Structures are given as C-alpha cells and as structure tokens.
Amino acid sequence: MTDHIQTEIRDRVLHITFNRPDKKNALTHAMYACIVEAMRAAEDDDGVRAILFTGAGDAFTSGNDLADFRDSPPLGADAPVTQFLHCLLQAKKPLVMAVNGIAVGVGLTMLLHADIVYASEAAVLQAPFVDLALVPEAGSSLLLPRLIGHARAAEMFMLGTKVGAEEACTMGLVSRVLKADELMATATKAAAALAKKAPRSLMLTKQLMRGDNDAVAARMAEEGKLFSKQLTSPEVLEAIMAFMQKREPNFG
C-alpha cells in the first residue's frame, strides 16, 4: 500500500504525492498512515523546511475510499485519518498544495490548513459530506464559513455544490489558478523558496497568521465524534450503497 503514497525530499522540501490515479487518488487507512509517518518525520527533521502535496494523474484526491471506510470505520483518536487531520492542524512548517484536479471531501478540507494553495484550471472542489450522510471534518465546519461566509459554505456542505478553480480563487480557497503545465513548476518553486527562508521566522509567522488553534482543535474533536456516530448509522450505509450502485439514495 505504500506505493500509493510517494514521498521524496528535494531542496529541503518534502514532496507527498497521492499515487492511486486509477481510483482518483481515493485515500485508504494505509495511505493515511503513510502520510502521517512522513509528516511527523518531517516535523522532527531540520533538513525539511516545507511540505508540498499533490496528486498523480488527473486528480488531487477524490476523498476517502468509501469501501475501505465502510469495512473498517475509522473510530477513535488512533484512526490514521484522525492522526492525519491532527498533523495538518499541528504542522509548524509551511504546507503548499498543488491541486491538479478534483479535490473532494478531505481533498477540500485539507486545503483549509494549507499556507499556499495553487490550482490548475481543471481543479474542481467539492464537500459532499451530507450527500454521504456524514458531517464535515478537519475543523472545516468552523474554517470554511469563516473563510467564505456561511451562505456559500452551506451550499458547499449541504448541497454538495461543486466549485471550479476560478471561483475557488475568488472565494479565497485558492491562492492562484495556473495552467496545467505550469502548476507543479510554480508550486515546487514556491516550496523551495519557503525552504530558503529563516525557518523560525517562517514558523512564527505561520503561527501568528493561524491564531489560536484551540478552537479549531475543539471543533475537530466535536466533528470527529459526530462523524464516527454517523459512520455506523443506517443513513451512511444507504448512502454508500446508493453511491456504489449508482442510484439515488432513499432516506424515506
């Protein structure tokens, strides 16, 4: 399963690539565990000054692998996905994300913890948690409305509305929109530039910009409890079965 996550350190930047293009880079427990291991090692490594995420193929990530989550619901603080979300929240080093295609579910919410987000013109962001009978995660129920306003966040969360790259940039979800063949070069250059900056100054600046993380951590914990309860509910079972059978769910 480690083949599904590629990691490489270049120019003091840890490159993390979701590498499951045949499944639109859907994330499994094993993939999350691999990312957590890499991020924790990077935080303790003075030779790593920034972290850059992207996806292989034509997708950033389509979110969680629903079959994997159905068969082994990620319950509790020890779940790899929970640990990944906390790695994002607690990251002291700059996070750069190159969104090369669809960013669904956690593919969207992880962007809320990034410092710089570049997107290709083909990028599409979506948070279909309610469509899957779930609730938002990663502190996004607090962070997204704070960033784009309640009404637009409600459309994304409650209606599952898709947002294109240009609209995402206007909203402030994305730093810049680039042509597909310029995306990685631009993101790599930015991450390398960050890696050359004074590291403590950079970390303190990030800390000041993020503010107090306690409120986000508390919201993340609340989301986690509700998410776990929903995962074992009849609603989620129906939503996942409907998705796999390519039909409309029946919550009647």
Could you give the CA distance from residue 58 to residue 101 in angstroms, rounded to a whole number?
5
Return the pLDDT at 61.
98
Per residue in 69-122, pLDDT (tens digit) is 777 877 778 899 999 999 999 999 999 999 999 999 999 999 999 999 999 999
| Distances in whole angstroms, Cα of residue 205 to Cα of each of 40, 68, 114 | 21, 38, 14
Does residue 113 form part of some domain?
A: yes
Return the pLDDT at 228.
87
Does residue 154 form part of some domain?
A: yes
Burial of 203 (0-12, 13-18, 19+ CB in 10 A): middle
3-state secondary structure of 205: helix
Does residue 234 form part of some domain?
A: no
Does residue 119 form part of some domain?
A: yes
Does residue 206 form part of some domain?
A: no
Return the pLDDT at 240.
87
Return the pLDDT at 2.
63
Per residue in 184-206, pLDDT (tens digit) is 999 999 999 999 999 999 999 99
Does residue 197 form part of some domain?
A: no
How far is C-alpha 214 from the chain's CA centre? 20
Longest dimension (CA), the chain: 58
Per residue in 208-235, pLDDT (tens digit) is 999 889 999 999 999 999 998 898 899 9
Per residue in 115-149, pLDDT (tens digit) is 999 999 999 999 999 999 999 999 999 999 999 99
Could you give the CA distance from residue 16 to residue 30 in angstroms, rounded to a whole number?
14
Does residue 134 form part of some domain?
A: yes
3-state secondary structure of 36: helix
Bridging pattern class, strands 5-10 and 50-55: unpaired
Instruction: Single out the residue of 203, 180, 168, 230 nearest to residue 51, CA to CA.
Output: 203
- Which residue range(s) make up the domain with 19? 2-180
Return the pLDDT at 1.
47
What is the CATH number for 135?
3.90.226.10
Q: Rounded mean pLDDT of the chain?
A: 95
Compute the average pLDDT of residues 13-28: 97
User: Domain count of the chain?
Assistant: 1
Per residue in 27-70, pLDDT (tens digit) is 999 999 999 999 999 999 999 999 999 999 999 999 999 888 77
Does residue 227 form part of some domain?
A: no
- Joined tokens for residue 84: 């990944």
